[in-house]
């Protein structure tokens, strides 16, 4: 019962565990993969726009897999992210469907335009 109440307030305990495991995986990477993974993580948190915890954890887990494989294979970071790391990050995030914070605003905009066309604006 207490765990259920706690999760309502703070979010899924399981996702918190998964996130801690993800962070540990990133910390275990050798450089320059660790710094690159942290930079991608930061960008995804700010610009990824994903608010669904399950989707976010799947995306971060895949990111950790990507960097671990690159480190194991010795793949240069630029071979992964290319010349446009922000573009790479946005494409990476776009591959994950999930509820995003902007979805609500898109719906609001569409509704406002529809209402305006019908002369129902407020």
- Which segment, 2-6, 53-57, 69-73, is predicted with the most confidence on average? 69-73
pLDDT by residue (tens digit) across 16-39? 899 999 999 999 999 999 999 999
Per domain, the residue ranges of the chain are 2-117
Residue 6 has pLDDT above 80, yes or no: no
Other CB atoms within 10 A of residue 59 CB: 19
Q: Could you tell me which residue, 50 or 105, shows the higher pLDDT? A: 105
User: How many residues are listed for the chain in this entry?
Assistant: 122
C-alpha triplet 20, 86, 21: angle, nearest 5°: 10
Q: For a pLDDT cut of 70, what percent of the chain falls above it?
A: 84
Both tokens assigned to 5 = 């109440």
Please tell me the predicted confidence (pLDDT) of residue 45. Answer: 86
Both tokens assigned to 85 = 């790391």
Is the CB of residue 88 less than 8 Å from the CB of residue 79? no
**Is 100 in a helix, a strand, or coil?**
strand
Q: Could you tell me which residue, 97 or 47, shows the higher pLDDT? A: 47
- DSSP 8-state class, residue 114: H
pLDDT by residue (tens digit) across 79-110? 999 999 999 998 998 888 666 667 778 788 88
Which class in CATH covers the domain with range 2-117?
mainly alpha
Both tokens assigned to 100 = 């995003």
In 3D space, the residue among 117, 17, 21, 33 whose CA is nearest the CA of residue 71 turns out to be 33
Q: pTM score, two decimals?
A: 0.73
- Compute the mean pLDDT over every residue in the chain, rounded to the nearest whole number: 86
């Amino acid at each position: 019962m207490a765990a259920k109440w706690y999760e309502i307030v703070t979010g899924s305990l399981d996702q918190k565990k998964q996130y801690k495991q993800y962070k540990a995986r990133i910390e275990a990477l050798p450089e320059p993969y660790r710094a690159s993974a942290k930079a991608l993580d930061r960008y995804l948190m700010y610009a990824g726009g994903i608010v669904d915890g399950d989707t976010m954890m799947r995306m971060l887990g895949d990111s950790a897999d990507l960097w671990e494989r690159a480190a194991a294979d010795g793949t240069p970071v630029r071979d992964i992210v290319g010349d446009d790391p922000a573009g790479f990050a946005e494409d990476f995030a776009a591959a994950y469907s999930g509820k995003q914070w902007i979805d609500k605003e898109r719906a609001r905009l569409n509704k406002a335009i529809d209402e305006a066309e019908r002369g129902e604006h407020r």
